[in-house]
Amino acid sequence: MSKFKRPSGRKMDEPRKIEAEVGVIARADGSARFKIGDTEALAAVYGPRELHPRFLQDPKKGILRCNYNMLPYAGDGSRVRPGPSRRSKEISMVTEKALTPVLDLSQFPNTVVDVFIELPQTNAGSRCAGICAAAMALADAGIIMKDMISSVAVGYVEGNLVVDLDGPEEHMGENESPDIPLAMIPSTEEITLLQMDGIVSKKQLLEALEFAKPVLKKISDVQKQAIKAKYELGERK
Amino acid sequence: MGKLLAKEREVVVPGQIISEGMDYLPSTGTYRLKEQVIVNRLGILNVDGKVLKVTPLSGRYLPKEGDTVIGKVEDILMSGWRMDINSPYSAVLPLREASFDFIKKGADLSKYFALDDYAVVKITSVTTQNLVDLSAKGQGLRRLRGGRVIKVDCNKVPRIIGKQGSMVKMINDATGCRITVGQNGVVWFMGEPQMESAAFKAIRLIEQEAHTQGLTDRVKALLDELTKDYKGGKDE
Amino acid sequence: MNQEVKDHIKNSLIKGVRLDGRGPQDLREISIELDVVTTAEGSARVKFGDAEVLAGVKMSVESPFPDTPEDGVLMVNAELLPLSNPDFETGPPGIDSIETSRVIDRGIRESGCVDTKKLCLVKGEKVWFMAVDVHPINYDGNLIDMGGLAAMAALKSANFPSIDKDHNVDYHEKTKKKLDISGLPIPITVCKIGDVLIVDPTDEEENAIDARLTVTSLDKDKLCSLQKGGAKPLSIEEIAEMVELALKKADEVRKKLSEVLK
């Protein structure tokens, strides 16, 4: 092992501190907050509900529609103009693809399940936090899903394999650190989100995926526990 | 020998593994993956012998034939009314099912049910395409006049009604409010303003703590607390 | 909204009871938290009961507007997030978003509490630009009042980021320098339902409103902006009564904010 130390002092396989809770938005059918370090995501689920325009409807099952959005002051630098960007549209799309494999919306043909993901503050890993929050909100909404979806990034900081890169780590060294956002179905260990920027070898990629697995399972336990906590609170009263 | 990994009446969540080995059988809200039974819906676990079933704690209302629901008129059609029944699918109340009177074609339908009116109606049929038909003819079915309408989680409706209507009756006795609970999670109630507010708070408490033990006593305590001044005032 | 439900709300109000059991002129319980967002220069979370609004301030160095070369810029933007309420839709801001933004903006701007001249770095070339973004997270009515309070709390909590000699901003380094703010403009929206005046309406009550008047005030007798809304007209006597109620309630809210800022 090298003598590399992470700026935050975290262990290589240690994600930042996680806070998770569900039922945070009264009007939503399901909602959740997922905070990892200084990256915070809120998700609200509305639906299944009627889908317009009609040509988008699927007569066999309901569809999932995600909307990822950073609040204007949530970015690292200056204010981000409100409204969709190419970046937010792409992330919304990959978020949909990351979540859809576990959902069963066959009971609700022609409908849509809307997921709104808002990020009040970010410090790297915002799409992963958004996916974690969205999965919890979908469970809270009573959607049939065969498993949780858990998400985190892995990457190489100055050649060292680490999990959950924070802002400073993304920019360490001469080149940008290779960063691989992942989402996984914990029970089958199948990957539902896989992106990367940076340069790695095939071996490094496969190593990174294996490295992320146990971390993703731990995150899924945090998510599940947070959902239970909402109802166990009622128990204690 | 199979092993059960969760307890009866435990809150279980999607992805939670609740048994190992082939002895246990998945039912509603659970499925088998290799040797395990896994939860696929948030709810309360029921262990019935070897059968593992989840009673949902949340989720939207799916129309069911025979259910009595509270709907809201969202459109007046040539041949009846389209109603929002707090579900992903709207429903149609046809002319012939609206009233025991004969309604002539071309009559002013808003005399019977106007836009935004609430009504207690029965679901007469649901097709595989989720086309829903309603009737307003039958005991207790009517247009609602006055009062307040709130939405609750439809999965909590059985608890709000209570065994043989015991919970609704308790709220009714304490507040004097008339209460109608639709299977679709729409609740109508009407009474004195202060009492309505007490009924409202009681219904919200039941909704929040529907899955807990000893709920009846807590609802009773809340109602006593909320109505004591009012009753005191009446005696003077 | 169904006319009979509206009438029912009115009749309850005549007897002095609101849907959630409050009296007509009671505010919900207010909570204010400062510095809740690390990426913003200033931020606040305001809750009225369960309703929740977030506000964040972003500062940047920009060119001034040509007609005001010595003035910095303060701008408030509100957006009705579809996350917060099933009735809000995605897409460009609708008229409700725009009205909310402009009424909050006007209240703060016209109060003169922020001296934009002091935000000038190089005349005609570089000035500070302050953008305050206001978003409902949990929507349950009264967004203007909640948003106006959150915006002021966020501005008060803000620290300037550091700048180099060429006025390039380093957002990773906040200075100790605060924005110079004199006075606390507070908007209060008084709503008329039937003949009863209420404050701090819930979403359900907002749907039954006949008329409303938002009064932003700096103290017990200093009004700095007004906005009448709703379909029905108001008599001068009614306006007098509404303004008085708004001033009284603003004072309550201002005291609450002052305590939190201490």
CATH number, position A93: 3.30.230.70
* Nearest-CB residue to A146 (from B40, B62, B129): B40
Cα end-to-end distance, chain B, whole Å: 69
Report the pLDDT averaged over residues B205-228.
92
* Nearest-CB residue to C131 (from A49, A75, A79): A79
**Consecutive 10-residue averages of pLDDT for chain C (262 residues):** 83 90 95 97 97 98 95 96 94 93 97 95 96 98 98 98 95 94 97 96 94 97 96 97 98 97 92
Nearest chain B Cα distance for residue C21, angstroms: 5
Q: Return the residue in C75, C79, C83, C155 with the most chain A beta carbons within 10 A, the one to mutate for interface testing.
A: C83
Report, in this order, helix, strand and coil percent for chain A, each rounded to 5: 30, 30, 40
* Nearest-CB residue to B116 (from C1, C7, C12): C1
How big is chain A by its Cα radius of gyration, in Å?
Answer: 18
CA distances for B114 relative to B34, B106, B110, C1, C162, angstroms:
55, 15, 4, 12, 62
Nearest chain B Cα distance for residue A35, angstroms: 20
Residue A168 belongs to some domain of the structure:
yes
Residue in the block written with tokens 């103009």 = A81
pLDDT at B234: 43
- Give the Cα separation of C160 and C66 in Å (integer): 24
Q: Return the residue in C33, C36, C39, C159 with the most chain A beta carbons within 10 A, the one to mutate for interface testing.
A: C39
- Three-state SS string over chain B comes to CCEECCCCCCEECCCCEEEECCCCEECCCEEEECCEEEECCCEEEEEECCEEEEEECCCCCCCCCCCEEEEEEEEECCCEEEEECCCCCCEEEEHHHCCCCCCCCCCCHHHCCCCCCEEEEEEEEECCCCCEEEECCCCCCEECCCCEEEECCHHHHHHHHCHHHHHHHHHHHHHCCEEEECCCCEEEEECCHHHHHHHHHHHHHHHHCCCCCCHHHHHHHHHHHHHHHHHHHHHC
CB contact under 8 A, C50 and A79: no
Angle at C192 between CA C205 and CA C241, to 5 degrees: 140
> B62-77: per-residue pLDDT in tens?
999 999 999 999 999 9
| Cβ(A65)–Cβ(A89) below 8 Å | no
Counting Cα atoms < 13 Å in the Cβ hemisphere of A118 gives: 24
Residue of A nearest to B61 (CA): A48
Residue A73 belongs to some domain of the structure:
yes
- Give the Cα separation of C224 and C216 in Å (integer): 6
Location of each CATH 2.40.50.100 domain in chain B: 3-56
pLDDT at A173: 77
pLDDT at B235: 39
CA distances for C175 relative to B148, B191, C41, C163, C262, angstroms:
53, 59, 10, 9, 19
* Nearest-CB residue to B148 (from C8, C16, C21): C8
- Give the Cα separation of B136 and B100 in Å (integer): 9
> A166-185: per-residue pLDDT in tens?
999 998 877 789 999 999 99
**Count of domains for chain A:** 1
Cα end-to-end distance, chain C, whole Å: 43
Residue A121 belongs to some domain of the structure:
yes
Report the pLDDT averaged over residues A11-38.
97
A227 CB neighbours in chain B (<8 A) are: 13, 42
> A129-174: per-residue pLDDT in tens?
999 999 999 999 999 999 999 999 999 999 999 999 999 999 887 7
| Cβ(A171)–Cβ(A209) below 8 Å | no
Residue A106 belongs to some domain of the structure:
yes
C15 CB neighbours in chain B (<8 A) are: 192-194
Nearest chain A Cα distance for residue C83, angstroms: 5
Phi, psi of B133 (to 5 degrees): -110, 145
Q: Coil, helix or strand for A47?
A: strand
Query: How sure is the predictor about B19, in pLDDT bands with cuts at 50, 70 and 90?
Result: very high
CA distances for A93 relative to A61, A153, B201, B228, C81, angstroms:
19, 18, 41, 55, 19
**Total-model pTM:** 0.95
Residue A2 belongs to some domain of the structure:
no
Both tokens of B103, joined, read 């309604």
CA distances for A127 relative to A35, A141, A181, angstroms:
12, 21, 8
Q: Is the pLDDT of residue A59 over 50?
A: yes
Q: Return the residue in B10, B37, B39, B60 with the most chain A beta carbons within 10 A, the one to mutate for interface testing.
A: B60
Nearest chain A Cα distance for residue B129, angstroms: 8
Chains contacting B with at least 3 CB pairs below 8 Å?
A, C
Nearest chain A Cα distance for residue B30, angstroms: 8
B135 touches chain A (CB under 8 A): no
Q: Which domain holds residue A187?
A: 18-236
Region of B86 (left: φ > 0; alpha: ψ -120 to 50; beta: rest) is left
Residue A7 belongs to some domain of the structure:
no
CB contact under 8 A, A122 and C39: yes
CB contact under 8 A, C8 and B190: yes
b/e B53-68 (16+ beta carbons within 10 angstroms → b): bbbbbbbbbbbeeebb
How many Cβ atoms sit within 10 Å of the Cβ of residue C194? 14
Residue A210 belongs to some domain of the structure:
yes
**A contact set with B (CB within 8 A):** 29-30, 47-50, 59, 62, 102, 104, 107-111, 139-148, 186-188, 220, 224, 227-228, 231-232, 234-235, 237
The second-level CATH assignment, the architecture, of B148-235 is 2-Layer Sandwich (3.30)
Helix (H) or strand (E) run with residue A10 in it: none
* Nearest-CB residue to B14 (from A29, A109, A145): A145
- Give the Cα separation of B84 and B78 in Å (integer): 17
For domain B68-143, give its CATH number from 3.90.1200.10, 2.40.50.140, 2.130.10.10, 2.60.120.260: 2.40.50.140
Residues recorded for chain A: 237
pLDDT at A237: 39
B14 CB neighbours in chain A (<8 A) are: 102, 139, 144-148, 224
Residue A8 belongs to some domain of the structure:
no
Nearest Cα to A24, choosing from A219, A227, A237? Answer: A227
Location of each CATH 3.30.1370.10 domain in chain B: 148-235
Report which residue type is found at A118: E
Q: Which CATH number is B3-56 given?
A: 2.40.50.100
B119 touches chain C (CB under 8 A): no
CB contact under 8 A, C133 and A122: no
Question: For residue A96, what is the DSSP state?
Answer: H
> B136-183: per-residue pLDDT in tens?
999 999 999 989 999 999 999 999 999 999 999 999 999 999 999 999
Q: Which domains does chain C have, with CATH numbers?
A: 3-261 (3.30.230.70)
Query: How sure is the predictor about B129, in pLDDT bands with cuts at 50, 70 and 90?
Result: confident
CB contact under 8 A, B60 and A235: no
Query: How sure is the predictor about A2, in pLDDT bands with cuts at 50, 70 and 90?
Result: low
pLDDT at B106: 80
B151 CB neighbours in chain C (<8 A) are: none
Residues recorded for chain C: 262
Exposed / middle / buried, residue B119 (Cβ in 10 Å: 0-12, 13-18, 19+): buried
Q: Return the residue in C10, C12, C87 with the most chain B beta carbons within 10 A, the one to mutate for interface testing.
A: C12
Chains contacting C with at least 3 CB pairs below 8 Å?
A, B
B218 CB neighbours in chain A (<8 A) are: 237
Q: What is the mean pLDDT of chain B?
A: 93
